[in-house]
Structure 1
Amino acid sequence: MEPIFDRESWQKYLRGFTIYDCAIVRQKGYGFVLVEESPDSHEGARTRFMTMAVDQPMEKRFGASTTNSFTFTTLACSISPPEYVAVDTRTSVYSSRPGLGRGEKPIGQLIDIRTGDDGVAVIQRVVRVNGQIYALGDYRKIYRRIGVEQWIELGSEGKGAPMPDMKTKKFYTVYDIGFKDMSAFGPDDIYAAGGSGDVWRFDGKKWHQCPFPSNEVLKTVCCAGNGKVYITDMRGAVWVGREDRWQKLIDGEFGWGFEFVDTAWFQDKLYLGCKSGLWVLDEKKKTLLMVDEVEKGAPTAMNSGRLDLSPDGQYLLTAGPHGAYLRDKDGWTRLFSSFDFA
């Protein structure tokens, strides 16, 4: 395929930055959250939001905006309306629609984000579920995006996951109660997970807590095309089941900071991404395999780890600190790597 970047565009958009998150809206349309390379902490680094339409000529291919007011930012896309939306842990929001990229008022300035312990919600990630964008907060807070600078906390509609009785425990933390991820089979079958074994299912009317056989902090949840739900925890363990039936497939053997951050079901396989790269689950053998060891042309850890599935389910985008790959039904395509211009 024709190179996505030339040297001039790479120096303008990618030089000095690494990829932190990614999203795909269509086969030729991608969004990325970039973080400035720095010997200092993530806290002081600049964040850049970059979109690309690779079927456009080079001079019209990219859009970018750089700020120093975001930290630990995740990204999701929707198709109605078509936009990328990024939200950071402090509820700051950036949105990018065709021909328009802008910072928006933080969610915390638009609606009440106070939690039951008199604190304020911290956004764990932003996701697309059933075609809509949600920001997931700790203390089981879920915020649905309904327009530019418009969000609704599900509890205000009577559709939020209930909080525990605060009288039974003096203090709850984000390690006790979720959420960190959400996935769905449909509008009346949604799963959310996070906290210490905190798993919930929404049936279209109300949330039900799912008895889960572990108190490990949960990180990801994926409603797969085979009708199963896959959940990963802080140690990298993989669980499978539904509602009140769960079993552990893989023991957790990952160190802190290397747990899975994204999971996606694609072409009848569960892909799992983390700092060490991209993995695929062999459920029959109950083992995890590095994807570049079992799939021809697959990316290494430098170009993989974050995952997003296109809204039509036909393409899987993965990105790592220094590049990105795309998978379709025929296999992997290397999109770009910053090492091309190092």
Structure 2
Amino acid sequence: MIFDKKVWKKYFHGYTIYDCAIFREQGYCFLLVEEKDDRDTYPKTRAVTIITDHPIAAGSIPFAQTERFSFSAIACGTHPAEYVVVDSVSNVYSTGAKSKQFEAAIEDLISLKTPVGTMVTIRKVVRAAGKLYAVGSNRRLYRREGIEQWADLHSEGRGAPMPTDYTEAPHADWGRKMGFNDLSAFSDTDFYAAGGEGDLWRFDGTRWHPCPLPTQTQLETVCCAGDGKVYVSDLHGNVWAGREAHWEQVASSELAWGYQPVDAHWFQGRMYFGAQEGLYAISADKELVPLGEVDEHAPSSMVSGRIDISPDGRHMLTAGPYGACLYDGERWTRLFSAFDFR
């Protein structure tokens, strides 16, 4: 345990862990959402930063809280080192060694209005090729340049192209049909972005190229993996792998809604898929299965699911609703669990 019951009760009790990010073996940030039945107001969202190479006590942990955020995501930036939270309507919170603040929303800095009059929904914030990006509907990507500084790739002339009938059919559900939900990169000239109904694209640093993925299901995650392949998962947990124009299904699944992968990362020779409750991996039978079926030491779904990899590639942080674990490729270390404090 990295802290005691007093710390748990002060910062975590009454909240569910919704997402996580890691900067180093001893430093991470957890995104918490208040457990509540009242639907008249948004539940509180709380970002809690943990540094384990310093004494941890109640009152000593940096955290921030708001009732304005909904469906948030968190990622760790490196230049500068910071944790950045972005919610679905582009509200932003950032925390680093030199500053901590609720920033102006992205939509207050640059327009998130699409040519057909709708607003972009932010689905995720990710680190790709050393930069942080807010990933949005209608094939939008926003690159973070600094505090209250975001660049729209479309405004730079580097955005993914839109369908030829995009403005001719303004009432079409483009937010559902098109990406993006996730982004991954081998380098700054080799990006892959996925979402929508089989909507997968590759960016070569200058131009975007559609990838003919053999499915029209809703895509959830994409990962540029260490084996040189790109892995893409859909709403039900089916997985395809390949590059550019060549793809094959490498795992099948029938996960229920709510259990679908929301994170996908390559770590120490294996693809890991994370849902809100639990980790998954590809079995020898080409099925997406709970990680415990291929790793007997895998943590329970209560303390695993959301995934992030440290920038140095040496540690994987995973968090479930009630706790978190750290993995170095050989050993799983449980950092904390609510069930140890009850």
State the TM-score bracket (shorter-chain normalisation). Answer: over 0.9
- What letter matches 1:313 in structure 2? G
Q: Distance in 1 between matches of 2:60 and 2:307?
A: 22
Q: Deviations over 1:252-292 (max 9, x none)?
A: 3011222111111011101111134111123x431233223
Matched with 1:271 is: 272
Q: Deviations over 1:87-109 (max 9, x none)?
A: 00010000001153210000000
- What letter matches 2:334 in structure 1? R
1:298 Cα deviation from its structure 2 partner: 1.9
Matched with 2:46 is: 48
Q: Distance in 1 between matches of 2:41 and 2:125?
A: 19
> Do the aligned residues in 1 keep the contact of 2:277 with 2:320 (CA within 8 Å)?
no
Q: How does 1:94-243 map to 2 (within 5 A)?
A: 94-98=93-97, 100-165=99-164, 166=166, 169-170=169-170, 171-243=172-244
Please give the TM-score of this superposition, normalised by the length of structure 1. Answer: 0.95
Q: Distance in 1 between matches of 2:229 and 2:40?
A: 36
Q: Distance in 2 between matches of 1:40 and 1:277?
A: 27
Secondary structure of the residue aligned to 1:8 is helix
- What letter matches 1:330 in structure 2? E
> Do the aligned residues in 1 keep the contact of 2:31 with 2:45 (CA within 8 Å)?
yes
Q: Distance in 2 between matches of 1:338 and 1:34?
A: 13
- CA separation of 1:102 and 1:128: change in aligned 2, threshold 3 A: same
Q: Distance in 2 between matches of 1:49 and 1:122?
A: 21
Please give the TM-score of this superposition, normalised by the length of structure 2. Answer: 0.95
Secondary structure of the residue aligned to 1:69 is coil
| Structure 1 residue 292 corresponds to structure 2 residue 292 | yes
Structure 1 or 2: more strand by fraction: 1
Answer with 187-196 or 291-300: which moved more. Answer: 291-300
Secondary structure of the residue aligned to 2:196 is strand
Q: Deviations over 1:218-262 (max 9, x none)?
A: 000001000001000112111111111111122230112221111
Q: Distance in 2 between matches of 1:213 and 1:42?
A: 42
- What letter matches 1:33 in structure 2? L
Q: Distance in 2 between matches of 1:111 and 1:248?
A: 39
> Do the aligned residues in 2 keep the contact of 1:54 with 1:61 (CA within 8 Å)?
no
> Do the aligned residues in 1 keep the contact of 2:252 with 2:286 (CA within 8 Å)?
no
Matched with 2:309 is: 309
1:163 Cα deviation from its structure 2 partner: 1.1
1:9 Cα deviation from its structure 2 partner: 1.2
Matched with 2:328 is: 328
> Do the aligned residues in 2 keep the contact of 1:55 with 1:61 (CA within 8 Å)?
no
Structure 1 or 2: more helix by fraction: 1
- What letter matches 1:115 in structure 2? T
> Do the aligned residues in 1 keep the contact of 2:184 with 2:192 (CA within 8 Å)?
yes
Q: Distance in 2 between matches of 1:210 and 1:298?
A: 34
Matched with 2:17 is: 19
Point out where structure 2 has 5 or more consecutive residues left out of the alignment: none
- CA separation of 1:64 and 1:99: change in aligned 2, threshold 3 A: farther
1:11 Cα deviation from its structure 2 partner: 1.2
> Do the aligned residues in 1 keep the contact of 2:251 with 2:282 (CA within 8 Å)?
no
Secondary structure of the residue aligned to 1:292 is helix
> Do the aligned residues in 2 keep the contact of 1:296 with 1:331 (CA within 8 Å)?
no
Give the % identical residues: 47
Q: Distance in 2 between matches of 1:5 and 1:288?
A: 34
Query: RMSD across aligned C-alpha pairs, in angstroms?
Result: 1.6
Matched with 1:258 is: 259
